[in-house]
Amino acid sequence: MDEPVCTICGQPLDWITDLFEADILCRECREQFLVHKKIYQIQGICWCVLYEYNEWLERLLFQYKEQKDIALAPVFLYPYRKKIRKAFRNYDVCVVCSSEQKRLERGFEPVIEILKPQNVYSPLYKTRDRKQSSAKKSERNEIYSVIQRKMVYPFIHQSIVLADDVCTTGATLMASCRLLQPKKVFVLAAHPLWIEEHKGNVVTNQRWIW
């Protein structure tokens, strides 16, 4: 029988006994994720942030998204997948699609793959892709014209969870919130500067996901 190995580094998984359930990563790899698990209240919307963005995530997301290492898709949410599935149960989960150009280049939608097997809608799309982290504040306002809502798009339920992988300035998500009016926002990882800027928005009296 093949020994189970870490999806990232290939090391044998020998720490199964430490957990109630096996992970798909070794302890060293799992510990590189900076767990944040905080809830923010922003303009009446509950934002749930799982990780603080760090170099580890930057490298991992680069390998996943730009080098198209799709085998990494399940590693991001693996320990939380059941809680997330439960929390998302009565919502329509929506993501912002990449631009057509980016999608053709990659051949997959990174956030949709991360959220699988969750059923995901993509009522919004980017008219073009732009590197947000390098953009100045004035340029970032441009995002409002970059994100568009598809004209005809049916929903099953009423409430929306908007999900995204990285929140750098929050501009994409804010623009998307304006178009979709979600009840909740789920962010895989938020940039430390965003976290610092929004520390006044953290709420402790609300629970969601965990």
Residues at the interface with Zn ion (CB under 5 A)? 6, 8-9, 11, 26, 29
Closest C-alpha to 169, from 145, 136, 199, 200: 136
The CA distance from 206 to 96, in Å, is 25
| Closest distance of CB 33 from Zn ion, Å | 12
Half-sphere exposure of 191 (CA within 13 A, CB side): 11
Tokens 């044998």 sit on residue: 12
| Closest distance of CB 69 from Zn ion, Å | 14
Of 31 and 142, which has the nearer Cβ to Zn ion?
31
Closest C-alpha to 168, from 126, 130, 121, 132: 132
Q: How far apart are the first and last CA of the chain?
A: 35
| Closest distance of CB 94 from Zn ion, Å | 32
Q: Which amino acid, one-letter code, is at 45?
A: I
Those residues with Cβ within 8 angstroms of residue 144's Cβ, 6 or more apart along the chain or in another chain: 175, 178
Of 28 and 100, which has the nearer Cβ to Zn ion?
28
Closest C-alpha to 142, from 167, 164, 173, 175: 175
Of 8 and 177, which has the nearer Cβ to Zn ion?
8
| Closest distance of CB 8 from Zn ion, Å | 5
Of 8 and 97, which has the nearer Cβ to Zn ion?
8
The CA distance from 79 to 77, in Å, is 6
Of 8 and 46, which has the nearer Cβ to Zn ion?
8
| Closest distance of CB 99 from Zn ion, Å | 33
